[in-house]
Amino acid sequence: MVGSVHVNGSAHGGNGTEERLDELRRLLGKSDGDLLKIVGIGAGAWGSVFAALLQDAYGHLREKVQIRIWRRPGRSVDRSTAEHLFEVINSREDVLRRLIRRCAYLKYVEARLGDRTLYADEILRDGFCLNMIDTPLCPLKVVTNLQEAVWDADIVVNGLPSTETREVFEEISKYWKERISVPVIISLAKGIEASLDPIPRIITPTQMISSATGVPTENVLYLGGPNIASEIYNKEYANARICGSNKWRKHLAKFLRQPHFIVWDNSDLVTHEVMGGLKNVYAIGAGMVAALTNESATSKSVYFAHCTSEMIFITHLLTEQPEKLAGPLLADTYVTLLKGRNAWYGQMLAKGELSPAMGDSIKGKGMIQGISAIGAFFELLSQPSLSVQHPEENKQVAPAELCPILKRLYRILIKRELSARDILQAMRDETMNDPRERIEMAQSHAFYRPSLLGKP
C-alpha cells in the first residue's frame, strides 16, 4: 500500500481507517478530546483476537480511541505451557525483538526454568492468549477490575462463553445504574440457555445481556461467521455478519471491516445467534465421526447432510421466516465442523484421549460451548407442549424425537450412557427418515413456535 505505515503487521493510512473511526465517534456523540472507549469482556481465543484486530487497526489513533480487554486475574500458566510459550517466542524474531525492547523477555526465560510463575493477564499484555499460545497477538491493554473496565465504556464486546455471560453482565449492570448514555454491546458468544418454566423457551446471549443490564435490545448485536480465531489473526481471508437493529449494524459493519476480514450486516438476529449455538453442538459429533471413520469423506458428508437438516428443523421452530442455511451461515457451520475446539473435542473423545467426566473446560482450549448447548437444546425440544406430528407414525412427538443426532449426543455427553462410537448408529439406523422430509416438515406454516422466544 503506497504511503502506508505498518504497525504490528497492520497497514495504516490510505484505507479510510481514521474516517471510519470519526464516523462512529460522531454517531456515539463523542466530542473532540473525548475518547471512544471500547472494551472486550473475556479473553478466550476469539475475544482476544477480536480485541487485537481492533488494536491493530485503530490503536495508533490514541487521541481518539481507547481499546482494552478485561479478563479475570489470578489464572496461572503451568510450566509445560510456559516452556511451549518460550519456544514460540524464540521461533518468531519479530516477537522476540518486541519482548526484548519491552524488557519482558527475561520473565519468559525464568518461567521456562521454573523460577517464576506467569499469569494469563500478564502474558495477554504481551500479546499471548492462554487458549491460543501458538498465535502471538499484538500487546493489549488488559484490565482485571471489571468495574474499571466497563463503567464508562461506549462499546462493549462480549467475548465470554454463553455459560458465563449472564453472571458477568449481571455484575456489570451494578456499575451502570447511574449511566446517562446507553452503551452498544456486540456479543460474540455462541450458545443458549433453556428455560422450561412456566413455558419452554430459549434464551440467547443477546437476550441474557439485555435482561441482565436493561440495555435496550436495539443496542445489543451479535457477530458471527466462519471464524477460526488464529487464522483470522494470521490474515487468512474471512467474513462475518453483524446482526441486530438497523440503528447500529450497518455502521458497526463498516467500522469492523478490514481488508482480510469482511463484515456484512443482517437483520435476522435470531437465526444467526441460534445457528451459532447449534453449529457447536453438531461440531462435536463431526469430530467423533471424523475420528471413528478415519476421516472418511463419505461418512463425514452423510453426517453433514443429517446434521444440517436437524439444524434447519430446529431453527424453523424458533423463527417464522429464518434465513436459509446458505452463504455465511452455511460457511460458519462448515468451518466449525471442519476445524475448531468443538470438533477437536469430539475427535479426542472418540480417540479416548478425553472423557465427558473431564468437564467442558479443557486446558489450552477453553470452554467447549457445544456441551452445554446439547443439554439446553435437547431438554427444550423434549417438552411435550411443543409436540409435532410425526411424518410417518401418525402421532404427536416431541421435536427432539425427530433429531436423532442431537438425541444421540445428549445420551453420550449429558447422560453419559453411551460411548462416542454410538454416534455412528445415528447415521446407520435403517429407520431414519430422509433429511429432505425433516426439512419439508419444518417449512410447513404450522411449525413455528413463537413461545420458544418468549413471544405471545
Which residues are the active-site residues?
A: 279
Q: How far apart are CA 67 and CA 125, in angstroms?
A: 12
Cβ neighbours of residue 270 closer than 8 Å, sequence gap 6 or more: 204, 318, 319, 322, 453
SS3 for the chain, per residue?
CCCCEEECCEEECCCCHHHHHHHHHHHCCCCCCCCEEEEEECCCHHHHHHHHHHHHHHCCCCCCEEEEEECCCCCEECHHHHHHHHHHHHHCHHHHHHHHHCCCHHHHHHHHHCCCCEEHHHHHHCCCCCCCCCCCCCCCCEECCHHHHHCCCCEEEECCCHHHHHHHHHHHHHHCCCCCCCCEEEECCCCCEEECCCCCEEECHHHHHHHHHCCCHHHEEEEECCCCHHHHHCCCCEEEEEECCCCCHHHHHHHHCECCEEEEEECCHHHHHHHHHHHHHHHHHHHHHHHHCCCCHHHHHHHHHHHHHHHHHHHHHHCCCCCCCCHHHHHHHHHHHHCCHHHHHHHHHHHCCCCHHHCCEECCCEECHHHHHHHHHHHHHCCHHHCEECCCCCCEECHHHHCHHHHHHHHHHHCCCCCHHHHHHHHHCCCCCCHHHHHHHHCCCCCCCHHHHCCC
Give the Å distances, CA to CA, from 186 to 50, 93, 129, 244.
11, 35, 20, 10
Residue 361 has a CB neighbour count (10 Å cut-off) of 12
